[in-house]
Every structure is written in C-alpha cells, then in structure tokens.
Structure 1
C-alpha cells in the first residue's frame, strides 16, 4: 500500500525507489551465487535437517554451510557467515538462513536479522530467514513443514517465493482440522523473488489454489492524527478514495486520542459482529506519530500499543477465518534506515546521515513457522491467523521527516 507524502526530500525518495524498481523491472536479480546457512541446536531431529536439504536443492542452493551449535552461538555463527560473504569477493544474489531449535529457545530473532543486514555483499539483495521450532510445544514439526515446502517448490518452479509460501500456508491450514495453524512471515521485500530454474511466468500460472471469499461486506476504519503531520490530509484522502474504489465501506475518524483509538476499534468490532449479512474483509488504517518503542501517539500525546488494537479486531466473531488488514503509518523508533538507493542521488544518502553501524532493514523476509500465538483453538481466539500487517517503517526506524 503506497501512501502519499509531501516535501521535496520525500519526493526524491520516491524517485529513487521508482528508478531502482524500474532497473530490476519489479523482480530481484539472483544471477550471483546463492548463499545458505543452516544452524541447528542439539535436540533437532536428523529428519528435519534432511528435509531442509531437499528444500535448498529445490530452491537452487547447491552449496551451503550446515552447523550444529547451541542457540547461544547462533549470533556468532551468523557473524562469521557475514564476514565470509564480504571477503570472498563473489557476487551474491540471495542469502538464506535457517534456524532450527527446540520450542521456546529461538528468542530475539531481530538481532540475527540485523547481523546479516550489515553484510555489504548483500546490499539490495534478498535475505531470507526461516525460523523453525521442534518439540512437544511446536505446532508444526520442522520436517513436516519442510517436506511440504520442498514438494511445492518442485511442483511449481515458476512461482515466486510469495506464491509458494501462500500455497504452503493454505495447505497447512487445511490439514490443521479444528485448530487453525498459521505460520507468520514478515517482509520488507521491494520486488518479486523467484528462485526456480525456469523463466518466471506469472501470467501463465494461476497461483495458489485457495483464495478468500470476498463476496460479503468489506469494511474499512481510518483513524488519522493530523496534528504536526504534513501531508496527512492528502494521505487520508488518497487512502479513502482507494478503499472506496476497492468496495470498502469507509468510516473515518480524525485526531483521536489514545483512548479513542481503543474505543473506535472496539466500536468497529461490535458493528461488524452485529452486521446483518456476511462480512468478508476488514481494513484498519492507523495514521499517527510513533513512539520510540513503536507505540502510536494519540492527538493528546498519550501512547497506545499497536498489538492491543490488532488484538481487539482478532476477537471479532464476524471476521473469524476472514482477512484482517492493518496499515500502520507511523514511526517505530528514532533511527533512519539508510536504504539502498542508486548512485543517481548521492546527496540524498548523504542527507540521511545514517551511521555505517546501522544496517538497512530492506530486502528481508522472515518466516516464523512456529510463532507464539499462532494457534487458534477456538473461533475468535487470540491468534494471528488471517492477518496482514503493513508498516510504513521497519522496526526501530523513522518513516521520514
């Protein structure tokens, strides 16, 4: 979802991204080597590791490193992997990191993501993280997840990675019977990634077999703070027009307080639950200033946690099994992401003044195959299934000036 912005520097940023996208025609180039690292802690079954071998071969990763170490050593191993990529001098087209450990041991994955984001050889290249848990508390054992993924990759070599994952998640949900299990992935990709050997032909492939039924009512709630946010009114107008063009019935509230954010979400949920007729989709746009830890700031300057607002709509009975889309247009910290801009506007990168120690958060895909809270045991539960969350900034980063 694109948001309109105001100001010369923001316009320059859009121009940079446009040129970059045109340069690769909307698709990542993976002409260089494909680097992969598998880190397994003790307790992970040999079957899971063997299944991972099959996935890597299906995705074209012929040479990869595989290490069995304690979870506490994952960061160190990843640092060594990054250094090797930077010193080898060979162009890298894509990197994949697989982390497998018993349930509950994979913590603070963002530290691992940031470590690889420091890699100079991978600037502008896709970086994929696959996090797998095993054991009694795991909702989906790694070998089963990987066997499904390898099979789908072999069956559809022309599909993009996003299409493959979508199809995989649909099949997992179908096999989960009464418990709806849904892996979670977070992405800052800026193009399509296709790892198959053959040419990419999206026009001839129908894509994933399962689709959401959108024949019912589509409802949208826009909550926007205008105070000290240049261009916010233009953003709201553009987004409201887009929602209406897509068939959403739009409710707009401006300058809500932190308490009003919660109250408006609760009222929106109640209206959907009492709506006569089926509800097929809900979209919520939250536009405000952001706090240093990713909080939203109401018009009164008070804070509200985004997770609380997502949780509110997750309890909606009318939306059980239906897509829920959240758009967050707010800063999520105080850092500027340096990004990967072309050389055409070096002054723009200089203006960002981002220290070299701060890695870019672009071009990263995280797949959490056993994320906490991904099990829904009852309708309207507290899980994260059927939710798409779109952020205007990466974790810890600013959206702009």
Structure 2
C-alpha cells in the first residue's frame, strides 16, 4: 500500500511539473521516456520501416516496437498499447505513433487519435501521429518525407518539431513531380515540442537560426524591403546572451550575421532584444527639493537613472559595442532596441514583457509612424511604469536603450 501511494504521489508530482514547465516556459518537458510505435499493414515495404526507425532514433525515442496488422485491427493494437503505458504507472515524456498503410485505407484516423488521448500516462504530454501512405505513386512518397525528416533532425536538433515539419513540407512539395503535393499537419499543441538534446533557444541556436535566415533571404528571387528579428533570452553581466548550458554569445555577433546578408544591403535591419544586460536593479531618481505640500499630497514618480540621454558616436573610438566601424556598410541601416539599459535587469512577468507589450500597443495606435519615434514613445511609457522582479518586493524602474544607424526614416506601414 505504501508503495502504491508513493508511486501515485510521484506520478502526480511529475505530471504537475510537466504542466508547470509548459505554463512557465511555453514548451513541453520531455524528460520522461519517449516511446514510439509503428503500426503497419503487411503490404508495407521493409525499406519504409527502416526509414521510420532511423527517424525515431534521430528524435531520441528509446522504445520503438513494430506491430504488423491489417488496418481494421489498428484500433485493437492501439488499445493494447495504451493499456501497457497505463500499467507502468509513470507518465511518459512523449509518444509517437506511425500508422503506415496502403493509400486510401486510413479513412478514420481520428478514432485512433482519441484512443490514445484517453491514456492516463500521457495526460498533458504530447502525442504525435505520423500517417503515411505506402502505395506506389502515393503523394507524398514516404521515402522522400522520411529521408528529409531524418536528415533535418540530425542537422537541426534545436528546432521544434513544427519547425522541422514545415521545412520538410517545403522540400517534399518542391520535389514532387507533376502536380505539387504537400503534406498537412493538424496541431492542438499548447507549447513548443523540442525533441533534440540541444536547448532550442540557446545562443548557438540563435546564431544558427540567423545564419539560415540570412541564407534563405539571399536565395529569394523577389526583393526584401526590411527584416525584423526578435530575440528573447537570459542575459549575462556583460550583456551577453546565455543559454541553459552556460554558453554565451554577444548580441553584436548576431547583428553582424544579418549585416552580411546581400539581400538586405542598404535595407533596414531591426532587432528587438528582450534580455538582461547585467544585474543592476534601478530604483530611479526622484526630485530632491520638493515643497512640503507636494510631498504630503503625493510623491512624483521616479525617473530611471539612465533616461533622457542621447549619445552620438561620430567615430570608432566612441563606440563601445565591439562591432564594426559605425561608418562602415556592415554597420549602416541597423536599429537595435534593448529592453534594458546597459548593466541593468530586463523585467518580465507571467503576463510577458512590458517592452514588447507596450511596443505592440504603440504600433497598433500609429502603424504609419516613424519607427524610431515610436520606440521613443515606447521608452517613455516603459519609464513611467513601476516594476517588481521575482526576487524583489520594492518597485524598480526600467529604461530602454535604442541604437540606430538608420540613414532614412523607417515607416513600417505607408
């Protein structure tokens, strides 16, 4: 009895931790066992099954049983699989079920999906179904789809599963002969599902994503008028972006990555950075010589100590960014908005970032305005707020820092 109670409490704690992780981080916790199952009809080729196994391994699934049955028996097989999962009395991290049958035979897959959705061990956990047609001439061919997915899993382990599938869809549709065919996904996921071993939004992922973004822009046939990149991460004491593994990268390196884009030569490049740039918590500055009746009626709001400053760097010696020379082509046409002043904490709470939310409000109110002036208004509103961090009960002040080498006015909407 004690063992049963202990196991039940442990299972409840794991489920609660997974749900809490999803709520706080916006992504699924897949620390539990990853289980994959292949249900295939006898007509399925051995090569297709081998490709499936390589995909399972690339996604980090430890248990990958295969059961061969007629399509009419898939539901019974899946019921047995669900009962086995529930019998272990411990939640799984993620489950992937591959259903492979001749084209046109999987006519009611939702019955199979609902069967697994009732699994207690998978409550709150992601359940992935991969439906493949093995008939000759089927579109898309399983070989093309699975080969592309397996290759991408190994090359981009920090991507979420939806990112991987979107890229595979693009490749599959592009390689289809004759009429264009593209796979389709249906998702009710509540967060990002990252199955790779790499922290999905670490510094290396930022750099890799920007490099691929730059390459895609350079291969576009149509011109690009503007690029906007929003980065949200933990920040270090020197302003560097920190990953979960402690590795770091300077934001300037990310800016330089996009500055090398040929398609953006002479075009505006906008960066929004929501990250701490140090550990200082600014209490702000208040007026020191107030008449007694003003002090008695109300205290005027404090002003952030970094506010109301304009610095103009006319040469390289005046710049502390560590980036290219301000007058060089690589440094021109860049607008960077930091959520915090240099050395300070960037605040956000369960509702999100004050910087991003205020920016959205200002852009919606005046979408045709000059972006540099709109960001100045955003800073005014943010400076008026009193914020409290998770480890501080006293009010603090926040102030943006805007760096610009734009050579023209930038209005995002005419």
- Whose Rg is larger? 2
Q: Which has the higher contact order (CA 8 A, sep 6+)?
A: 1
Q: TM-score, normalised by structure 1?
A: 0.47
Pick the structure with more helix per residue. Answer: 2
Q: TM-score, normalised by structure 2?
A: 0.46
